Amino acid sequence: MPRTDARNSKTNVGGGGGWDGEGEEEVVYVPPPPISEQKRWRRMDPSIVPSPPCLLLSKFMDYACTSIPVLRNVCPSDGWRSALPPRWVSFPHGGLSHSFDGYYSTEDVVPYITFREFVADRRRIAIGDDARPPTSSTITTHPSATAAISTVVDLYEYAFRTNSTSLSDLTSNESLCALVVLVSLMRRFKGYFLPIFSAFGRRLGRAAHGSRWENDNRERIIKFGEYVHRLLYHSIVSAYGMWYFHDKSWWNTSMGGTKNLWIDHPNQPVCPGMAWYYLVQGAYNVDALISLAELSFKFVWVNPLTYSSALVDERRRKERVYRMMARGNRVGDRDVDGDGGGVDGGVDGGDLTTTALWTPFFRLDWSTTVRGDYREMMSHHVVTNALVFFSSYYRLLRAGSMIFLIHDLSDVPIDMSKLANFVKWKYTTIACFAFMVLMWIITRLAIFPFVICRAIVMDSREYLVTRGTLDPALHDAYYLLFYALLGALVLLHVTWFVILLRIGWTLVTTGERHDYSEHKGGERQKKDN
């Protein structure tokens, strides 16, 4: 066990990290002990655990100096800490003195079952090399089965009848393969059914508004098909979620409620129903991010031999002229800038968007179909996908499933109100909108921040560290990331609630619900109508 002398102890009294130290006695460098010993120290005295940024920086340096060849050759032979001031790296009070295992390299985490391990276990049982009796997750293979049939049987047993497989971790190879298949199937489903749904919306719109309305509202007709698809998805997964989770302990306050999110973590059993629920939700969110990118950007290859900064300047000058023309402003010679920079030079007359990114190899432009709520939706999808993958990696599937379910339940009335507004059913629209606001307040502004987020922020350390066996450094380093992502999601919910209030005011004053996502800037709908 490392010891600190009197000078070291004096220097770090109340310091909690020893980063200041001007005018103090010199600190004697105490190298960190093995990680298992460090963990014992941290559990005995949690006050010595450095701040999360220091922990993450230490983890990065430890990884870089041991796993990256270039940096490994540069780092000092006695460790990177020996090159820094002792007060920063002297264990246990130095801010950069602590090391900790990766999540799956600790002895506290039992690995998920991979498909290779599952098949090997079945083969051992089949040939009698293992004396263990068959269980529900291991059945013998029929000798007469062909290799193809045997593989299919193995896949079925592994995916749908085995608990705690690597399908529960969306970053595993098995899950990534399943995600690719699910995303492809979802996109094929949308490609086939969205035109059918949109055609149905076209007939409804023509019946409600006349044939002229169809020509002026093609984007609305396309979005009708999208809303039907979203309504079907959210209704199905909400029904499945309520059926599957109705008897789960973390949803039942009489059985402990959200405290069960942490009991037996990180080795909570994951049933196939939970694993596939997470896989389907993950695939849907990945597909939503891809679809939003397709709507918002257009990608054009650029010949690097013809690329020059002059072309970029000319492009920007033409775009500035088009923007001024679109606003009705007068375009002068100074704006056009002569020498081929006029409005009839090589820019499409209908393209009034600015270039998002231009490199010598490709050009990324804003698409004409970019929607008014692009920033909010892109932020939402990025945060959501990060939470989905991180929560599955760190085995927070119970908390993640709660977040999924409350969001899906609140999305159903959103889709219903948009469809009712499309066909101009005024009273149905008002009823759906009121129900949507009520569900939004209950699920996203009440249950999500004050039940789920509170359980994650307030209870996780008590049950995982104080009562459990998780390393305090591991908890403090990574849970800050979850706090930031959850906080961003709460902020987005509040922002959207303000937008809902604006939509409600428009509905009350004009009798028509205004969709702020239909056009860039969200304000052109009235002009188009």
Q: From the CA atom positions of the chain, what is the Rg in Å?
A: 29
Residue 186 tokens, joined? 């979802």
> Residue 503's pLDDT is what?
85
Could you tell me the two tokens for 47?
């006050």
Angle between helices 374-393 and 397-422 (to 10 degrees): 150
Which residues contact residue 42 at a Cβ distance below 8 angstroms, ignoring those fewer than 6 apart?
48, 49, 98, 471, 472, 473
The pTM assigned to this predicted structure is 0.78
Q: Which residues of the chain have pLDDT under 70?
A: 1-27, 106, 128-145, 302-315, 318-319, 321-362, 511-529
| pLDDT value, residue 180 | 97
Tell me if 480 sits within 8 A of 457, measured CB to CB. no
Residue 22 zone, left/alpha/beta (φ > 0; ψ -120 to 50; rest)? beta
Measured distance between the N- and C-terminal CA atoms of the chain, rounded to whole angstroms? 76
pLDDT, one tens digit per residue, over 359-412 is 556 677 788 888 777 888 898 999 999 999 999 999 999 999 999 999 999 999
Alpha-carbon distance values, 491 to 375, 376, 497 (Å): 13, 10, 10
CB within 8 A of 396, min separation 6: which ones? 261, 265, 390, 482
What is the reported pLDDT for 6? 37
